[in-house]
Every structure is written in C-alpha cells, then in structure tokens.
Structure 1
C-alpha cells in the first residue's frame, strides 16, 4: 500500500499513460491498483512485482517499474507477461533485467504445472517495448489486429519458450 503515492507520481508521465490502459490519477486510484495486484496474488492467476531501485544515500528504495505474470493457470501452456518502467529509469536496462528475472521465476515456479511459453504483447508503435522484448529473449511472432475497445491499435506478439 505504501507504493500508492509513488504510482501516482510515476503515472504522470505521458509516455507511460500512452502505452498502458490502467490510469492512476489519484491516491485512491493507486490504492485500487495495489489492491488489484493483491487480489491477483490471492487468486493465483496474476503476479505483479514492484521494481525498486536502491538509493545510494540511504533513502528508501524508489519505485522504477513493474513486471507482471498474468493469465497463468495449472495445465495452461502459456501465460502473459507485462511491464512498465518509470521515466526516470528508462534507458538503463531496468526493464530487460526485471523481465529476465520475472521470466526465469515464472518458468521455475509454473513449469511443473504445464507452463511452456510466455507471451509479451505491445502496441506496434511502442518501439521501446519491442527492444525490451528482443533483449529479453522474446522472439517476434506476429502482428495482432486491433480489438477495440481494450486494444484499439494493432499489436506485436513476442514469445519466449521454456528452455528444454
């Protein structure tokens, strides 16, 4: 719950708001967002992680991103990953490192339950997400057509399979 105020600050970034579909405009929105993450953990189908950066001056760690595993279910061979990065942390490899850790954790945790493939989706124009996907071992698979209102623009599907 202590991340709610930081979420509001991070979501003031125009680029983040452009590429995500969960606006966080007030502390109440931030609290709802954090609670939704908790419900996903409780249900066992969505696992969100705050990406924190340690301060060098002894201050508390700062929120610099989020990674999430979603739509995971026992016996289901695929799940989806997502992420965002705060403006102040972009261009420093935060997203690829966090996504790599999430991907390894996902396969380690859910492969015995049938998880074989992780899917990463982003809008076609989001070139930064395309680079993150490629750096993180997610191969481009195909262009997905738009599906308004949830997905108003065409998207890229990237896939990463579990190591054999």
Structure 2
C-alpha cells in the first residue's frame, strides 16, 4: 500500500506531504538525528548510515505487514516545489478486531514550534480512522513522557485530550501521559 497524504498550506505554514520512507531519505534522517533532544527522547537513536538504512527497511516492512505505518513528513517549498524532511508520524499496532492503536511522532529541530507535528498527527489520525474503520479501529493513543510539555501541546492541538498519568516502566525511565482520540 503506498499512501501519500497532503496537508494544505496555511497563510503562515507550508504544505505538508506525508509519505512512506524511502532509501533516499537516509542522509536527511541522519542529519535530523544529530539533534541531542531527539536522540535523548528516542529509544533507538540513529548514528550511522547503516542504522538509518535498517530503520527505513524496518518501516517498509511494517507497511508490507499492514500493522505499522510510518510516514516521512516533508514541507513543500512554495518557490521550487522541492520537499524537505521535517518530521515523522507513526501509526502502530493496527490489528483487525482490536479497537485501539498508537500514534507516535518526532519533529526535526528546525521544524519545532511551527505546528508541523500537530498538523501531521491530525492527518494521520484522520487517515487511520477512515482506512481502518472496517476492522474496528475506534481509538488512538498518543503517549509521551511527563517532562515533555511540547508533546502535550501537540497531542491536544491534534485532538488528543489528556486522559491519565502512566507510571514509569521499562524501557521508559519516567512517568508518562496518555492522550486519547476517538473516532468521530
């Protein structure tokens, strides 16, 4: 399944294109992972081109299996139409007959604070509820660590109200927040 989602530009933000990861994303992915904040919040940081190639291949396999859908989020340059990688949104644990799945994301340092993550998470959430309605998907969860208030704002802006605090458990060292969005 090859899916491309488009989030229209606004007066202050560029169009977003969400698509499956490709081999030619490896260099941009490595550049983004140089950010210490992203590495600190990621369970499996990428250090080498081989790491990045394996990461892309794993997400390609997730699409093929139909259970894990990872989108590269790109901004479209309004002048030349080129695309720049700015984020990642992941829908995981999609299982027929199971009413819930999880959404995760990260944002490149240069794209933070501009609404990229909330617009992309909202687009993937709407897509998921439409695409997987027939198999019973009615609820999406977004989890983040308590010490990440930016993720709280992204969750709420993208339609995921706060539900509860989750106690720390491996592999996460700190308490977390659970946000939930239900299919309309």
Cα drift, residue 107 of structure 1: 0.0
Q: Which residue of 2 aligns with 1:152?
A: 173
Q: Is the 8 A contact 1:19 1:126 kept in 2?
A: no
After superposition, where does 1:58-137 map in structure 2 within 5 Å? 58=80, 60-137=82-159
- 1:27 equivalent in alignment to 2:49: yes
User: Which of structure 1's runs of 4+ aligned residues deviate more than 3 A?
Assistant: none
Q: TM-score, normalised by structure 1?
A: 0.95
Cα drift, residue 53 of structure 1: 1.0
Cα drift, residue 59 of structure 1: 6.8
Deviations 1:23-61 (A, max 9, x none): 011111110110010010111110000000112442731
Q: Secondary structure at the match of 1:3?
A: helix
Cα drift, residue 20 of structure 1: 1.6
Corresponding residue pairs, total: 162
The alignment yields a C-alpha RMSD, in angstroms, of 1.0
Q: 1:139 aligns with which of 143, 161, 165?
A: 161
Deviations 1:3-30 (A, max 9, x none): 1111110011111112121201111111
Q: TM-score, normalised by structure 2?
A: 0.85
User: Which runs of no fewer than 5 residues in structure 1 stay unpaired?
Assistant: none
Q: In structure 2, how many angstroms separate the alpha carbons of the residues matched to 1:95 and 1:104?
A: 14
